[in-house]
Chains A and B, each alone.
Chain A
């Protein structure tokens, strides 16, 4: 599958003589040196690709450059160096007018603080992107109403943004982004301002919508749990650089460095880990080799950790992990499960 969105060696430097700063970064200067000169390197050499229908999560603490990175993707900020390609089109080479056209039709955005226009009704807000595109009024109303319905806001069209709760406001923001039928959805900490229960609802809703809509989504967050829940792939940023780019499991089980590892400490592994991450792959061979006669319990590599525990509790033997072709790919002894949990508990105790 060809990638839909590609970022290649993106740099963004704020301050004086940015291109010169990029040269220095390329030749190994670090961020602190530049800061001493009064220039800020927000994003340094960021490269990644996003496949169609994928949710790509960029995770990092505040100041890590993730929002800057996002804004380079739709040209709100011009990269100091590097390229952004969307559907094969080099966005960095476009003029202001063409860029606006791309933003109006192909890329939409959902904001942290919703950014709803207070002087427009819910319907007018949802229809905003369509109005910019120049869609006729009747069509605009129809499509905006549909988008609101999709986001669970049917009946609220005539309300004003300030009459809605935070979660509902962000649904309007989401509806506004979906109404334009853009292929790429940029979500900038979109759920961070919501309280935890509502945040979870919104995450669920986004996943449900994604099952039918199959948008390409770049999602920014500072919350690793959220990243793990939503992300098909996760890029972890620190100090302007992408320090690791991989699946949730990669991040959790094979952290690229201590920073990422320390980041993942607080994650509830039982919810994220699957059999494939826990199993002992050293034991290879036929199912019969496991040493149990027929009452051997087996799971697939995707089986979540919580279920593994249940399965493991029913048997004295290690649990076999079988792939689609029922070939043994690994075994999970009970001690190993407890070990992973213990690791978590130990970390919790540390925290």
Chain B
């Protein structure tokens, strides 16, 4: 038989597709990720329990009270497992895949039902898609769509498409022929026959197909996790990789809950949407009478319930998101290190503006800031008693004189940040010839004899009435119309838009000067007196304890233009959106943050840090450790790392295609040689960070008398003739089968059992627990050596070759794109002790707390950050 090079053809086809059809895949990717992002955003926005409530109402509507309660319990359970976000990722993935699968499969199914030829063509294609092992199309999926959601969707789609097509075809075909003939006999067009007779009657079967699509989609979720879709599938993979049965079953149970929910809901939906099903259900219900546990609300009630919950969820999502959309803080700028700062403010425009400006600045510098709105009296009290750290709205020396007198000795005045406050009367600049208070004289008729005032209780009003008007002899002519600040501003706005004469009581700084073209009337007689400065006042000792912040606050200055434009921005944004307004303002005033809160120049992140880095990692202990270590260290240097957990094959593919940037766990030149060889032209080797490693066969130390490979000879009975292997095709397995065993003459005696790393570890665990002899394929470093007492067999003939080293590999373009980082990585080394303690720390903190573990470890190894990333 000649060798048919099918594999080569497939490779050629894939290359050709990559080269020529890239645009198509890009387009599909855009569609897939767009849909996915949309659905994921909707599902992840609301509070978990609220969304669980929405799901429960849906279940209540479709299936009754019991289903509603169980749904809520199930989803609440997922939330309590802290798997909510993962579950929503998986759910989004499945929903998108289902949606797309239906868009494709229903029309194809209809077509197949109407044409024998199409049916005959489609069937083998479906068989092919359904039975081809998922791993095989996962790799091309990465080539075409990159890692992440799109590849996961495509994989799920391919797998889940078949039942959709099949059930649609079956449903239509099993509609009574006589009915179709009847429709035709009455002159129905083919289209109407399809839409009015065949599809409605086929609907229950089609819905069963939808159900199957969803179920298969969910079952693919775990496999899709291998290409970095994350979600529950990612968790399952991670757990398998670390032999963490506990976490694996948690994620598994969450998948099952999702599956049962989706299954029951689509099943019920099938009854609801088909006219026949609806009628049967109604009949059954009528026969049963009203019962609480199977009571189902009418659709209207359910819709109202869902809308209400959705609105609440939407609202919560908006407010909730503000709480946690903290910007990642680059280490160099992370002065606060999460320290809490409390700012108090009086709801005056200047106080609000400066407070939220500082809130934003301090948050950008790594502080946790709480801003409290208080009345002037309580605010001074709070600062004095230490409940509030500082306030930026102290009008001194005049306005807040009384408070200062009372609490001054328990406060630190950090100086005035704005000293040109003034009280005044103002007119729009279109009022020609009115420039000073003197000019108002004799013009009362222009202004209707009115000065638009503010609150009668305000100090300014009192000053105006008692002193200013009299000083200029205006008290007979003008009447001050007392109202409120908002009313005054509204009146100003109205008059201004109509270009009517108006004179208002105002003060500086005020945003009105920013929004309108106003003239402050000159006060040559100095009747208003000299203005206050706006001071920052802190509790006693705050500045001394926080010298950096203290210095920032002491140096704090804003000019009138800055302040009024900031106030105007905040005013425009409205209540509750102050901080967003500050951010908007900061964007149009770049550099302010660095000017107000300067940090050491050297700490600024290099330019290359601006592009986030996609780092792929394997769920192997040394990779978890090193990846999280780099993440922690680099984030201190202002880099952003996206971590993606994946399998070895996809990682190499992703790195080669440029979809991924880095991987820290390349075992070269032997263990991963097969992957490296395939893609090495498009990869860059950034050097070894850990050595030596070794590949070996290991046996538990309770198996006496076996220390070397030679010792295995003649002991096949002991081990049942088996060496428990890992994934076939990996470098280590190839070496073992082709060189090591023949080299020691063991190949006749022993079979290497192909399997997977998790399976090998499980077998080791099982045998170890029972103290049975077992020989496993292993490598160092591996956590199994710390967990179990194992003997590495001595390789006297060095047939496993010199040890691999663990290297960092990257896409070939990486060194150009990240020269600084490349330099750091090339100089990076960890000792066995360091790696061991780091792994230990991570194990001690448990899954999901890797960041804290790395933090803790770095505290014990303070030199590492500087060593890894010297400035």
Q: Do A and B come from one complex?
A: yes
**Pairwise interchain contact A115-B181, C-beta atoms closer than 8 A:** yes
Bound: A160/B188 CA distance, A: 22
Give chain B interface residues in 252-307, CB to chain A under 8 Å. Answer: 274-276, 279
Judge whether A117 is part of the interface by a CB distance below 8 angstroms. Answer: yes
Judge whether A118 is part of the interface by a CB distance below 8 angstroms. Answer: yes
Judge whether B9 is part of the interface by a CB distance below 8 angstroms. Answer: no
**Pairwise interchain contact A111-B182, C-beta atoms closer than 8 A:** yes
Residues of B within 8 A of A (CB): 176, 178-179, 181-182, 184-189, 192, 197, 200-201, 274-276, 279
Bound: A160/B275 CA distance, A: 12
**Pairwise interchain contact A117-B279, C-beta atoms closer than 8 A:** no
Bound: A160/B197 CA distance, A: 16
**Pairwise interchain contact B279-A160, C-beta atoms closer than 8 A:** yes
Chain B residues with CB below 8 A from A107, complex form: 185
Q: CB within 8 A of A76: which of B185, B189, B200?
A: B185
**Pairwise interchain contact B186-A117, C-beta atoms closer than 8 A:** no
Bound: A210/B153 CA distance, A: 64
Proximity bits, A178-206, B CB within 8 Å = 1, else 0: 00100000100000000000000000000
**Pairwise interchain contact B181-A132, C-beta atoms closer than 8 A:** no
Judge whether A119 is part of the interface by a CB distance below 8 angstroms. Answer: yes
**Pairwise interchain contact B179-A117, C-beta atoms closer than 8 A:** yes
**Pairwise interchain contact B179-A108, C-beta atoms closer than 8 A:** no
**Pairwise interchain contact B187-A101, C-beta atoms closer than 8 A:** yes
Bound: A109/B188 CA distance, A: 13
Bound: A160/B278 CA distance, A: 13
**Pairwise interchain contact A103-B179, C-beta atoms closer than 8 A:** no
With contacts A101-B187, A103-B186, A115-B181 known, what are 19 further pairs, Cβ within 8 A? A100-B188, A103-B184, A105-B187, A107-B185, A108-B185, A108-B186, A109-B185, A109-B186, A111-B182, A112-B178, A117-B182, A118-B276, A119-B274, A119-B276, A129-B186, A129-B187, A160-B279, A176-B186, A186-B185
Bound: A76/B178 CA distance, A: 12
**Pairwise interchain contact A115-B179, C-beta atoms closer than 8 A:** yes
**Pairwise interchain contact A104-B186, C-beta atoms closer than 8 A:** yes
Nearest CB in chain B: distance from A261 CB, A:
34
**Pairwise interchain contact B185-A74, C-beta atoms closer than 8 A:** yes
Residue of A nearest to B197 (CB): A117
**Pairwise interchain contact A76-B181, C-beta atoms closer than 8 A:** yes
**Pairwise interchain contact B185-A103, C-beta atoms closer than 8 A:** yes
Q: CB within 8 A of B201: which of A76, A112, A119, A160?
A: A119
Residue of B nearest to A97 (CB): B189
Residue of B nearest to A106 (CB): B187
Judge whether A11 is part of the interface by a CB distance below 8 angstroms. Answer: no
Bound: A314/B192 CA distance, A: 66
Chain B residues with CB below 8 A from A108, complex form: 185-186
Residue of A nearest to B176 (CB): A115
Judge whether A31 is part of the interface by a CB distance below 8 angstroms. Answer: no
Contact of A118 with B186 at beta-carbon distance under 8 Å, contacts A76-B181, A160-B279 already known: no
Judge whether A113 is part of the interface by a CB distance below 8 angstroms. Answer: yes
**Pairwise interchain contact B184-A132, C-beta atoms closer than 8 A:** no
Chain B residues with CB below 8 A from A132, complex form: 186-188, 192
Chain B residues with CB below 8 A from A160, complex form: 279
Bound: A180/B279 CA distance, A: 28
Chain B residues with CB below 8 A from A129, complex form: 186-187
- In the complex, how many residue pairs between chain A and chain B have their CB atoms under 8 Å apart? 55
**Pairwise interchain contact A115-B178, C-beta atoms closer than 8 A:** yes
Bound: A105/B186 CA distance, A: 8
Chain A residues with CB below 8 A from B279, complex form: 160
Chain B residues with CB below 8 A from A101, complex form: 187
Judge whether A86 is part of the interface by a CB distance below 8 angstroms. Answer: no
Residues of A within 8 A of B (CB): 74, 76, 100-105, 107-109, 111-113, 115, 117-119, 128-129, 132-133, 160, 176, 180, 186
Nearest CB in chain B: distance from A67 CB, A:
11
Nearest CB in chain A: distance from B370 CB, A:
62
Bound: A133/B185 CA distance, A: 12
Q: List 13 A-B contacts (CB under 8 A).
A: A76-B181, A103-B187, A111-B178, A112-B178, A113-B178, A115-B176, A117-B182, A118-B201, A118-B276, A119-B200, A119-B275, A133-B187, A186-B185
The interface centre, meaning the residue of B181, B185, B201, B276 with most chain A CB atoms within 10 A of its CB, is B185
The main secondary structure of chain B at its interface with chain A is: helix
Chain B residues with CB below 8 A from A100, complex form: 187-189
Residue of B nearest to A74 (CB): B185
Chain A residues with CB below 8 A from B182, complex form: 109, 111, 115, 117
Contact of A104 with B181 at beta-carbon distance under 8 Å, contacts A118-B276, A119-B275, A132-B192 already known: no
**Pairwise interchain contact A180-B181, C-beta atoms closer than 8 A:** no
Chain B residues with CB below 8 A from A112, complex form: 178
Bound: A176/B188 CA distance, A: 14
Bound: A102/B185 CA distance, A: 10
Bound: A180/B186 CA distance, A: 9
Residue of A nearest to B185 (CB): A109
Q: CB within 8 A of B187: which of A104, A118, A186?
A: A104
Contact of A128 with B186 at beta-carbon distance under 8 Å, contacts A119-B201, A160-B279 already known: yes
Bound: A109/B185 CA distance, A: 7
Chain B residues with CB below 8 A from A117, complex form: 179, 182, 197
Bound: A253/B537 CA distance, A: 126
Chain A residues with CB below 8 A from B276, complex form: 118-119
Bound: A70/B274 CA distance, A: 34
Chain A residues with CB below 8 A from B192, complex form: 132
Closest CB pairs A-B (n = 3): A104-B187, A115-B182, A103-B187
Nearest CB in chain A: distance from B43 CB, A:
34
Residue of B nearest to A128 (CB): B186
Nearest CB in chain A: distance from B830 CB, A:
70
Chain A residues with CB below 8 A from B274, complex form: 119
Bound: A111/B187 CA distance, A: 15
Chain B residues with CB below 8 A from A76, complex form: 181, 184-185
Bound: A306/B189 CA distance, A: 52
Bound: A143/B856 CA distance, A: 85
Chain B residues with CB below 8 A from A113, complex form: 176, 178
Residue of A nearest to B180 (CB): A115
Residue of A nearest to B276 (CB): A119
Chain A residues with CB below 8 A from B178, complex form: 111-113, 115
Bound: A160/B200 CA distance, A: 16
Chain A residues with CB below 8 A from B200, complex form: 119
Bound: A118/B192 CA distance, A: 16
Nearest CB in chain A: distance from B488 CB, A:
64
Nearest CB in chain B: distance from A175 CB, A:
13
Nearest CB in chain B: distance from A166 CB, A:
14
Nearest CB in chain A: distance from B196 CB, A:
8
Bound: A186/B184 CA distance, A: 13
Chain B residues with CB below 8 A from A105, complex form: 187
Nearest CB in chain A: distance from B58 CB, A:
25
Bound: A288/B189 CA distance, A: 69
Bound: A38/B275 CA distance, A: 43
Bound: A117/B187 CA distance, A: 15
Nearest CB in chain B: distance from A252 CB, A:
33
Residue of A nearest to B203 (CB): A119
Chain B residues with CB below 8 A from A103, complex form: 184-187
The interface centre, meaning the residue of B176, B184, B201, B276 with most chain A CB atoms within 10 A of its CB, is B184
Chain B residues with CB below 8 A from A111, complex form: 178, 181-182
Bound: A106/B179 CA distance, A: 20
Nearest CB in chain B: distance from A171 CB, A:
15
Nearest CB in chain B: distance from A123 CB, A:
15
Chain A residues with CB below 8 A from B275, complex form: 119
Residue of A nearest to B279 (CB): A160
Chain A residues with CB below 8 A from B181, complex form: 76, 111, 115
Nearest CB in chain B: distance from A129 CB, A:
4
Nearest CB in chain A: distance from B175 CB, A:
10
Bound: A218/B200 CA distance, A: 32
Chain A residues with CB below 8 A from B185, complex form: 74, 76, 103, 107-109, 186
Nearest CB in chain A: distance from B100 CB, A:
29
Nearest CB in chain A: distance from B186 CB, A:
4
Nearest CB in chain A: distance from B697 CB, A:
66
Nearest CB in chain A: distance from B520 CB, A:
74
Bound: A119/B204 CA distance, A: 12
Bound: A117/B178 CA distance, A: 10
